Amino acid sequence: MKLTGDGKRKIMVNHELSDLKIQDIGEQGLLERLHKFCPSDVVGDDAAVITTQPEQSLVVTTDMLVEGVHFSHITTSSADAGWRAAAANLSDIAAMGASPLGITVGLGLPGHVQVSWVEQLYQGMTECLEKYHVPIVGGDIVRSPVTTVAITAFGQVHPHLVIRRCSAQVGQAIVVTGIHGAACAGLELLLNPQIGKTLNAAEKAALITAHQRPQPRLDAISLLQKIVNAPNPNSPSPILIAGMDSSDGLADALIQICRASGVGAVIEYSQIPYPSAFNHWLTTDQAWKYILYGGEDFELVLCLPHPWALALVQALGTDAAIIGTVTPGSQVVLQDKHKKFPDQVLTLSQGFQHFS
Amino acid sequence: MKLTGDGKRKIMVNHELSDLKIQDIGEQGLLERLHKFCPSDVVGDDAAVITTQPEQSLVVTTDMLVEGVHFSHITTSSADAGWRAAAANLSDIAAMGASPLGITVGLGLPGHVQVSWVEQLYQGMTECLEKYHVPIVGGDIVRSPVTTVAITAFGQVHPHLVIRRCSAQVGQAIVVTGIHGAACAGLELLLNPQIGKTLNAAEKAALITAHQRPQPRLDAISLLQKIVNAPNPNSPSPILIAGMDSSDGLADALIQICRASGVGAVIEYSQIPYPSAFNHWLTTDQAWKYILYGGEDFELVLCLPHPWALALVQALGTDAAIIGTVTPGSQVVLQDKHKKFPDQVLTLSQGFQHFS
């Protein structure tokens, strides 16, 4: 977009400024505007250089989000899309027991996208990242017919403190952080506001916030590391904590951990934390569908020795719970100590699978 | 795609097998098929864990490729698209003076894409990566209306051996690896085969291979590290080698390095290596447009002390050349010692900028 001396053109240009599009400023112009979101010392080379601590392993995860598939203008502002994208990746870093070091952002953008949309996307990402002192260390911006965000996050963890899905041990306690079902319920409320008639404003806001601004549970990892003590390089063996995040749903996480570890689990219905609004708002079936299969709560599901489980739940207060025990076998069984529900073997059948 | 007992249906299914699409097997089915391209010990968790060497810094770079923008079915098989994507990222790692550790691959795919197309994409990536012992350590596969490949590569380098754009010193020699203009000419030949009538088969093949299978110059970095000696932790200061890769063209690389370092350069036309076929095939103007502005040759442009430059060129044989010297000032001047061409100040004006 060239500024000219012509008066009429000038007015048009001023009018267009608030509606400035990518095609008006080009890739280079957009990159310059986005530099403010990145530390100045890591921008400007073919790659970013980041200092890591010795004795730590590198942890890497990547996620791709496509407009119309993973986010939409109806339910998600660009700032929220940015927050969610950053949170999802930091959650994967937390799920490995690691501390985040930085992220890179690949952006595919149609030329008609507003510059302000992209700036707000970065603003949202930065708001989430700042909380954990995580910089955006690089990226790529390209033309694409559909808005696409590809984030790679990397972190570091002492090799003995890595949390894997495959290391659950029979007898360990199963801990979940936070509450499950809220993010999915929040999305439903955004898509169909009329279903929330019986909810009060605070209940609605809490559910919607759970969807729009999920919190990666790096706080729980930090507490857990204090509980199991600082990494001891002389320790003869790794600390066996199994786990993953619940991004694809609580049922999915429990089943994936049990499958990978060759174990089963018994889970007590009454111990699973969920939004209290569900009790008066949803049918039991609907509530449990959200709690078990909703997904995107980005909480942690951890299998660990009972003393550590108790210490972690104590440290997190009401924000975590022991929901069950790792058992021999291969089934994840949901039990109700009040015998209101029959025992149920959890399956992935209600889970979300792309392309299906 | 469900197999049934019905005979007619069975025949249809068999016919479809060679034409199997993503939508037939789903995200999970595709992921299982792609696991063979990844080391088994890094797959299956929320993130990959990679061991790094102490005393090394982490180097991270990311690239996004969109079908129709960065590759097309006309000029690029999926295997070549995979090779090129991997090579471009490894080239960025080389440009920082680093050794690659691994890559992650984010894939956005329409449901109608053939499974074999994706497998060949991974095959092409793997062929390039294997040469440098680089694993694919993770990724994400999502539905998208347009085929999109987002690659993040990471490597490690001793902090004192990092190559940056901003550290060129007046008096240093400027070295380029390989030849410039070949990749761009190869692409033109694929787009307009009729323009290659006066080329022989070997000349055509060499240019097309330069486009389809570019080689990241990790070999040059490895030689350079031997020349400047192994990193010495007691060394008082970093080794000042400036540089970047020529992915956006030789002119772009020279100008970017000079801008970032606050220096100028004098480049001698006759010292710039280019494909010999250009002499009988192209006009002088066309040849120099390809050589200076073609891009995607993925060679290295390095500024370094003369003794190291000489040693590097000697070690690489005909595959590198000293093309000029870093000067005070801010201009990159092209000179012709034979006085056939007038002096010319290089600009970015013929360079490629997305969205422009």
**Cα nearest neighbour of A111 on chain B:** B355
Q: Is the pLDDT of residue B184 over 80?
A: yes
Query: What's the pLDDT score for residue B36?
Result: 85
Q: Are B94 and B300 in contact (CB under 8 A)?
A: yes
Q: Is the pLDDT of residue A354 over 60?
A: no
**A17: CB partners within 8 A, 6+ apart:** none
Q: Are A168 and A140 in contact (CB under 8 A)?
A: no
The answer to whether the CB atoms of A46 and B61 lie below 8 A apart is yes
Q: What percent of chain A has pLDDT over 70?
A: 90
Query: What's the pLDDT score for residue A3?
Result: 26
Binding residues of B for Mg(2+): 46, 61-63, 92, 140, 245, 248
Write out chain B residues lying below 8 Å of A142, CB-based: 64-66, 69-70, 354
Q: What are phi and psi of B51, to 5 degrees?
A: -80, 130
Write out chain A residues lying below 8 Å of B100, CB-based: none
Count of C-beta atoms within a 10 Å radius of residue B141? 21
Max intra-chain CA distance, chain A: 80
Q: What are phi and psi of A183, to 5 degrees?
A: -65, -40
User: B41, B56, B58: best mutation site toward chain A, by most A Cβ within 10 Å?
Assistant: B58
Binding residues of B: 46, 61-63, 70, 92, 122, 139-140, 165, 245, 247-248, 296, 352
Write down the ipTM of this complex. Answer: 0.84
- SS3 of chain A: helix, strand, coil, percent, to 5: 40, 20, 35
Query: What's the pLDDT score for residue B42?
Result: 65
The per-residue pLDDT for range B332-347, each reduced to its tens digit, is 999 999 888 889 899 8
The answer to whether the CB atoms of A92 and B62 lie below 8 A apart is no
Mean of the per-residue pLDDT values of chain B:
88
Helices (H) and strands (E) in chain B, counts: 11, 12
Given the DSSP bridges, would you call strands B136-143 and B99-109 parallel, antiparallel or unpaired? parallel
The answer to whether the CB atoms of B69 and A142 lie below 8 A apart is yes
Structure token digits, residue A28: 């280079």
Check the annotation: does A217 bind a ligand: no
Query: What's the pLDDT score for residue A39?
Result: 79
Nearest CB to A57; choose among B51, B60, B162? B51
The per-residue pLDDT for range A109-123, each reduced to its tens digit, is 999 999 999 999 999
Helices (H), chain B: 7-17, 22-34, 78-95, 115-130, 182-191, 201-212, 218-227, 250-261, 278-281, 284-293, 306-316
The listed CATH number (2.40.30.10, 3.30.1330.10, 3.40.50.10490, 3.40.390.30) that belongs to domain B21-157: 3.30.1330.10
Q: What is the CA radius of gyration of chain A?
A: 23
Residue B2 confidence class, pLDDT cut points 50, 70, 90: very low
The answer to whether the CB atoms of B150 and A145 lie below 8 A apart is no
Query: What's the pLDDT score for residue B43?
Result: 67
Q: Partners of A67 in the beta sheet?
A: A71
Greater pLDDT, B236 or A55:
A55
Given the DSSP bridges, would you call strands B242-245 and B148-157 parallel, antiparallel or unpaired? unpaired
The answer to whether the CB atoms of A48 and B59 lie below 8 A apart is yes
Cα(A230)–Cα(A93) distance, rounded to whole angstroms? 18
Query: What's the pLDDT score for residue B318?
Result: 85
Nearest CB to B143; choose among A45, A69, A107? A69
Check the annotation: does A63 bind a ligand: yes
Query: What's the pLDDT score for residue A230?
Result: 47
Query: What's the pLDDT score for residue A235?
Result: 57
Nearest CB to B57; choose among A51, A66, A157? A51
Over residues A135-155, the mean pLDDT reads 93
- The CATH class of B160-345 is alpha beta
Cα(B36)–Cα(B43) distance, rounded to whole angstroms? 10
Query: What's the pLDDT score for residue B350?
Result: 62
Query: What's the pLDDT score for residue B104?
Result: 94
Residue B139 confidence class, pLDDT cut points 50, 70, 90: confident
Q: What percent of chain B has pLDDT over 70?
A: 90
The per-residue pLDDT for range A255-312, each reduced to its tens digit, is 999 999 999 999 999 999 999 999 999 999 899 999 999 999 999 999 999 999 999 9
CATH topology of domain A23-157: 60s Ribosomal Protein L30; Chain: A; (3.30.1330)
The per-residue pLDDT for range B217-276, each reduced to its tens digit, is 999 999 999 998 744 545 556 678 999 999 999 999 999 999 999 999 999 999 999 999
Residue B117 confidence class, pLDDT cut points 50, 70, 90: very high
Query: Tokens 């299914």 — which residue?
Result: B13
Q: Is the pLDDT of residue A24 over 70?
A: yes
**Cα nearest neighbour of A23 on chain B:** B355
The answer to whether the CB atoms of B26 and A141 lie below 8 A apart is no
Q: Are A150 and B64 in contact (CB under 8 A)?
A: yes
Nearest CB to B142; choose among A58, A91, A354? A354
The per-residue pLDDT for range B17-61, each reduced to its tens digit, is 568 998 999 877 888 888 888 877 666 777 888 888 888 899 999
Q: Are B164 and B289 in contact (CB under 8 A)?
A: no
Mean of the per-residue pLDDT values of chain A:
88
Cα(B335)–Cα(A256) distance, rounded to whole angstroms? 65
Query: What's the pLDDT score for residue A51?
Result: 81
Per-domain boundaries in chain A: 23-157, 160-345
Q: Partners of A143 in the beta sheet?
A: A109
Q: Is the pLDDT of residue B6 over 50?
A: no
Write out chain A residues lying below 8 Å of B45, CB-based: 95-96, 164-166, 244
Write out chain B residues lying below 8 Å of A107, CB-based: 64
The answer to whether the CB atoms of B150 and A62 lie below 8 A apart is yes
The answer to whether the CB atoms of A155 and B47 lie below 8 A apart is yes
User: A27, A56, A58: best mutation site toward chain B, by most B Cβ within 10 Å?
Assistant: A58
Query: What's the pLDDT score for residue A237?
Result: 64
The per-residue pLDDT for range B297-331, each reduced to its tens digit, is 999 999 999 999 999 999 998 899 999 999 999 99
